[in-house]
Copies of this chain bind each other. A is one copy, B any other.
Amino acid sequence: MRVKRPTIHDVARASGVSRGTVSRALNGDPYVSAAALAAVRRAVAETGYVVNRAARSLVTQRTGSVVMVLSEPQEKLFEDPNFSVLLRTATRRLAERDVSLVMMTAGDRGDRERVMRYIRGGHADGILLISAHSGDPLVEELQGAGLPAVACGSILGRENLIPYAAADDREGARQMARYLVEQGRKRITTITGPMDTPGGLYRLEGFCDVLGRRATKKVIEHGDYTRQGGERAMHALLDRVPDLDAVFVGSDLMAAGALAVLRERGRSVPVDVAVGGFDDSPVASSTHPQLTTVRQPLERVAEETIRLLLELIDGAGPVEPVTFPTSLVIRESA
């Protein structure tokens, strides 16, 4: 027993003008008299009219929706502070333009096929790619669909295929490494993210840029962005380099784990060991001691990601990837 919705005809009748004029008034066509515009506005308010997207879609060949493709196993995704910010920004900015956000997962093969069917079916105007891995077959497939696509954070090895907005991971890592050196730390180690993610690779590269020959394999340990991963890696580093006096950790969450292990094993932070994080996520200011870290302008990255996508959809031709500078946030741990 669904109520019948008012159509553009009802609005036309109520406002005493024709369908065409109502449509023009609603879509901001300049050739509408002030009187007609007012009448239409009143009639819309009166009838509670809302445009029928399906009908519009049918003729404009646009859907008014964008699909966010999550290609990471989701447990990890939700540990990622990036994602939370992005989701909020995306829903806001897209909603402002009356574009709706459709979520799809692309974990296994079946998922991917569904995504491709959806895309090929023309059900979306654009694609928002989240944390795709370098080897992800989805990237190529999406490329083939010819739909506007952007990524939030670069996709390792596909930087030229899909435009993106990202923080400058490499320079951010350099900032932290330089700071640790300036503080007189001599045995600086690092815990990285997974090496098939830009955050893993580029932050390590930045670290090596500054440490040079001191960045031996011995002082590098790989983590997986989780708190437990940070704990594991910290244990391994302490076993291998018992006299380390600094550790640059590739994410705040892992750094929180590292802090716990350091305390557990009797190191005092920052006196014995300096700890640097990355992200400036909420967890950074809730640890003891509070984390010195590298701030990523996540809001701006997210904003820019959406802006790029909308620009592509509007047909502005090819767009350039954008990276944003990071900044050092000095608290207590280093």
Binds B, one of A8-16, A33-41, A54-62, A204-212: A54-62
User: How far apart are A83's CB and chain B's nearest CB, in angstroms?
Assistant: 8
A48 CB within 8 Å of chain B: yes
Give A99-127 as 1s and 0s: 1 = Cβ < 8 Å from B's Cβ atoms: 01111110000010010011011110000
Identical chains in the assembly? 2
Closest to A122 in B: B5
Cross-chain contact of A100 among B50, B52, B61, B123 (Cβ < 8 A)? B123
Determine if A282 is an interface residue (Cβ-Cβ < 8 Å): yes
B65 close to A102 (CB less than 8 A): yes
Q: Which residues of B contact A63 (CB under 8 A)?
A: 54
Is A50 in contact with B95, judged by CB distance below 8 angstroms?
no
8 Å CB interface, A69-119 against B: 70, 74-75, 77-78, 83-84, 87-88, 91-92, 95, 100-105, 111, 114, 117-118
- Residues of chain B within 8 A (CB-CB) of A3 are 146
Q: Which residues of B contact A121 (CB under 8 A)?
A: 5, 50-53
With CB as the reference atom, state the residue of chain B lying closest to A53: B123
Would B100 and A87 count as touching, CB distance under 8 A? no
| Across-interface contacts of A120 in B (CB, < 8 A) | 48, 50
Q: Taking beta carbons and an 8 Å cutoff, which residues of A are in contact with B?
A: 2-3, 5, 48, 50-55, 57-58, 61, 63, 65, 68, 70, 74-75, 77-78, 83-84, 87-88, 91-92, 95, 100-105, 111, 114, 117-118, 120-123, 146, 227-228, 231, 260, 264, 282-283, 286, 288
9 smallest CB-CB distances across A and B, nearest first, come from: A50-B121, A54-B57, A78-B84, A54-B54, A54-B58, A91-B105, A100-B102, A101-B103, A74-B88
